[in-house]
Structure 1
Amino acid sequence: MAFICLDIRCLFIFLICTEFSYTFSSNTEIKVNPPRDFVIVDPGYLGYLYLQWQPPLALENFKECTIEYELQYRNINSERWKTIITKNLYYKDGFDLNQGIEAKVHTLLSRQCTNGSEAQSSWSEATYWTSEQGSLETKIQDMDCVYYNWQYLACSWKPGMGAQFDTNYTLFYWYEGLEHALQCVDYIKSNGINIGCRFPSLESADYKDFFVCVNGSSESKPIRSSYFIFQLQNIVKPLPPDYLNLTVKNIFEINLKWSTPKGPIPAICFIYEIVLTGDDTSWMV
């Protein structure tokens, strides 16, 4: 059936109805489901974890839309959340496994799919804890790692206060590029107990997170593991200059000249500190 209206009032009513219909549709709340199966996966890299999830259900209505995810995560004792916006279904990062980890992720819809308004789902949440065997007193103490002259790495520690005489410790390490975590092959020992590790040549390990775990074994009690994260270039201890030449020109002027330390460290990286005295009691830096 056809309807033709020549009355100007019909056109006016038609325009009102069209405007009402557009306003209603633009104000309609658009809902999207949260990501599914959100988990934190430990692949055995001593703190480098995978956070992964599956797409939300019922995405048929948003086939032409860009789906993004907002991920937030932190160690449980930290006050600050890290936030990542990604289109992927996973994210990887390093964590301190001495503490628990908590994370949450939700779905975001691009504005062109939501009439310019922001649409996001509720959060999906996940937590992760390592198995905490042994008391805190059995953990190693005073872990100290030095990358000598940017060439070889050595770490040392003291046995835990609550460790028994039969306790011994084992060190594992990993950085991106290794297929799996490796165990120390050259331990530093004291009275037959491992108190440190000398590492082999560490190819391609600079400027990456270096993950270390020191655990232990004892027949009398379980030993709590300790985890550490650092970057090698931040713990470099350079060699001293090969020579220092001092020339006294007069009572008011002393000239010092020294050589650049040998090794792979670029000369531009060095800053020198000079400490001198004239009477062994007062020092100038």
Structure 2
Amino acid sequence: MAFICLDIRCLCIFFMYTAFGYALSDTEINVNPPQDFQIVDPGYLGCLYFQWQPPLSLDDFKECTIEYELKYRNIGSEIWKTIITKNLHYKDGFDLNKGIEAKIHTLLPRKCANGSKVQSSWSEATYRIPPQGNPETKIQDMDCIYYNWEYLLCSWKAGMGVRLDDNYNLFYWYEGLDHALQCVDYIKVKGKNIGCRFPYLKSADYTDFYICVNGSSESKPIRASYFSFQLQNIVKPLPPEHLSVTMTSPNEINMKWSLPRGPIPPKCFIYEIEFTEDDITWVTTTVENQANITRTTNDSRQLCFIVRSKLNIYCADDGIWSEWTEENCWKGINDRWKKILMFFMLPLGFASVLVFLMSYLIL
């Protein structure tokens, strides 16, 4: 009889626990979105800040670490960048020629939501610089080159419909500067700014470099243009030096050259070599400052090569090829015999003529 009562009590407890468990599972857990979400432009020509405040009614989640999922993109782009953070701010670089849109919501850890994934609704924000001036007045063909990893030079062409009293101004910023700076050494043609020579850029490598070129005009506003890049990706090194050619065996030819001058580390170079063997030309690349070539035939009369350099993938995402070196050639055995014969025959011929003239005079 006691066993029967015990079973009944256990059964009652089981039903009570099941009912209570379903009641817990039916209780919906909600969390509010972040407050005061906004995109802030500090005047860094493309580096923008996202900032927000914690959501309301967090008293029920004091023991939980709240996270935020941030998504953002330039308006018109198909790809959203996604960041999950515990902070109340984030920054990134953008193309200010286009608008920016972003959205953020709150994430609740599973341990604070009975093992389920809980997230708030989205808070959204947009940012766009109000366009001024006709789009045709923007500069054209902007070109920036970081010569030999030492000095930066940018140049451009004037936009369409620009009048005589119009001129352009360049401003730049990178991480480490307190504020955006204006170019102090413009390249001018007939009094008009068509480029900028930058001063020494301390600690500007491997960080985003932002440029804005706007205009000044007494008659109408000029549309601003924005650019961003990293300096190591636009480096144009000097070409290699001191090319030499050595025949190491009847069919093997070794080509060497010296490293380009300047501050670029030797490990950063890749070389492109163009060979011409008689009438056949081909191109190859190497990370060494030498190359061995096998002659295609023993009858080769001449083999010439030129070299140029660029930063490799270990030091930059991209780069600009240097100028080509002057051509250096190896000439075949026939040409060498001609030189040897000329070396000996010319003095011999001269001596013979001299002896003949002296004999003639004496006679």
TM-score (norm: length of structure 1): 0.93
Of 282, 285, 289, which aligns to 1:284? 282
Distance in structure 2 (CA, Å) of the matches to 1:57 and 1:201: 49
In 1, the alpha carbon distance for the partners of 2:12 and 2:250 equals 103
Identify the residue that residue 3 of structure 1 maps to in structure 2.
none
Q: CA deviation at 1:249?
A: 7.8
Pairs within 5 Å for 1:26-105: 26-105=25-104
Letter in 2 for 1:27: D
> How far apart in 2 are the matches of 1:205 and 1:144?
18
Deviation at 1:258, TM superposition (A): 1.1
CA distance in 2: counterparts of 1:236 and 1:282, whole angstroms:
32
Give a deviation string over 1:84-108, Cα, whole Å, max 9, x none.
Answer: 0001111110011000000000001
- Matching of residues 259-278 of structure 1 within 5 Å: 259-277=258-276
Which secondary structure does the structure 1 equivalent of 2:83 belong to?
strand
Letter in 2 for 1:284: W
Alpha-carbon offset, residue 26 of structure 1: 2.5
What residue number does 1:148 align with?
147
For the residue of structure 1 that corresponds to 2:161, the secondary structure is coil
Question: Could you tell me how far 1:7 is from its partner in structure 2?
Answer: 6.5
Q: Measure, in 2, the Cα distance between the counterparts of 1:148 and 1:95.
A: 25
Question: Mind listing any 5+ residue stretches in structure 2 that lack a counterpart?
Answer: 284-363
**Partner in structure 1 of residue 208 of structure 2:** 209
What residue number does 1:230 align with?
229
In the alignment, the residues of structure 2 paired with residue 51 and residue 85 of structure 1 have an alpha-carbon distance, to the nearest angstrom, of 13
Deviation of residue 254 (structure 1)? 4.6
Rounded Cα–Cα distance in structure 2 between residues aligned with 1:156 and 1:246: 39
**CA displacement at 1:12 relative to structure 2:** 2.2
Q: Offset of 1:14 from its aligned partner?
A: 2.9
CA distance in 2, matches of 1:104, 1:117: 23
- How far apart are residue 251 of structure 1 and its match? 9.2
Deviation at 1:250, TM superposition (A): 9.2
Alignment of 1:139-178 (within 5 A): 139-178=138-177
State the AA in 1 paired with 2:15: I
The one-letter amino acid of 2:132's match is: Q
Q: Secondary structure at the match of 1:243?
A: strand
What's the RMSD between the two structures over aligned residues?
A: 1.8
CA distance in 2 between counterparts of 1:142 and 1:30 reads: 56
Higher share of residues assigned helix: 2
Is the deviation greater in 35-44 or in 234-243? 234-243
Q: Deviations over 1:140-165 (max 9, x none)?
A: 00111101100111100000123222
**Amino acid in the other structure paired with 1:173:** Y
How many Å apart are 1:76 and its aligned residue?
0.5
Larger radius of gyration: 2
Residue 183 (structure 1) aligned with residue 186 (structure 2) = no
Q: Secondary structure at the match of 2:267?
A: helix
Structure 2: how far apart are the matches of 1:204 and 1:155? Answer: 19
Gaps of 5+ in 1: 1-5
Identity %: 69
Deviation of 1:248 (Å): 6.6
Paired residues for 1:246-261 under 5 Å: 246-247=245-246, 254-261=253-260
Instruction: In structure 1, give the amino acid aligned to 2:268.
Output: C
TM-score normalised per structure 2:
0.73
